């Protein structure tokens, strides 16, 4: 397989569309069961576990890479409040930064993605920052 080209810094600032995700009770329960999360509110499907925003998957135009070459380096979430069953969250992803660095495995690209979730009136609910390492 060819070595993939390093990610272009031209992608910085590029955004996904805004997508509205509905937080479904069944999806919360399935997620809590997979994590074996014993929090009663989560097992009942009332309140989403803190890492639930990872289920909101979106693409950014022009940003493609080989999934098998991606390492998840770091992740942050900040919350105004927890997500609850029935919430409709407006989400958007943005390429916050891209840089190259030499590591143990050779030249690697670091991709920083910022995620924002608001309620339907635009009030912030959570933000997320993903650091992905492409080797």
Partner 1 sequence: MTGPVLSMRHDLASGSVLPDLRKPPITKLQLVKYAGASGDYNLIHTDDETARTVGLDGVIAHGMLSMGFLGEYLCWLAGPESVRRLSVRFHEMVRPGDTLTCRGRVKERTTGTDGSRLQLEVWAENQRAERVTVGEAEVQI
Judged by the rule CB under 8 A, the positions of this chain that interact with partner 1 are 27, 30-31, 33-42, 47, 49-51, 54-55, 57, 67-79, 81-82
Shortest reach from residue 134's CB to partner 1, in Å: 12
Which residue, 38 or 121, is less far from partner 1 as judged by CB? 38
Q: Give min distance, CB of 127 to partner 1, in A.
A: 10
Shortest distance in whole angstroms from residue 101 CB to partner 1: 15
By the 10 Å C-beta count (0-12 exposed, 13-18 middle, 19+ buried), 48 is classed as buried
Taking the least distance from each CB to partner 1, the nearer of 94 and 127 is 127
Q: How far is the CB of 89 from partner 1 (least distance, A)?
A: 15
Of 54 and 118, nearer to partner 1 (C-beta) is: 54
Nearer to partner 1, 6 or 9 (CB): 6
Give Cα separations from 45 to 35, 72, 76, 112, 130 (angstroms).
13, 27, 23, 31, 26
């Amino acid at each position: 397989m060819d070595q993939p080209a390093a990610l272009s810094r031209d992608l910085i600032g590029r955004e996904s569309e805004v997508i509205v995700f509905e937080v479904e009770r069944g999806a919360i329960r399935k997620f809590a069961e997979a994590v074996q999360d014993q929090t009663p509110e989560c097992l009942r499907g009332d309140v989403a576990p803190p890492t639930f925003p990872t289920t909101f998957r979106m693409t950014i135009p022009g940003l493609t890479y080989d999934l098998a070459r991606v390492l998840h380096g770091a992740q942050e979430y900040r919350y105004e409040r927890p997500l609850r069953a029935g919430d409709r969250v407006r989400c958007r992803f943005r390429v916050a930064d891209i840089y190259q660095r030499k590591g143990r495995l050779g030249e690697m690209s670091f991709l920083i993605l910022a995620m924002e979730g608001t309620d339907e009136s635009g009030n912030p609910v959570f933000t997320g920052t993903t650091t992905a390492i492409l080797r």
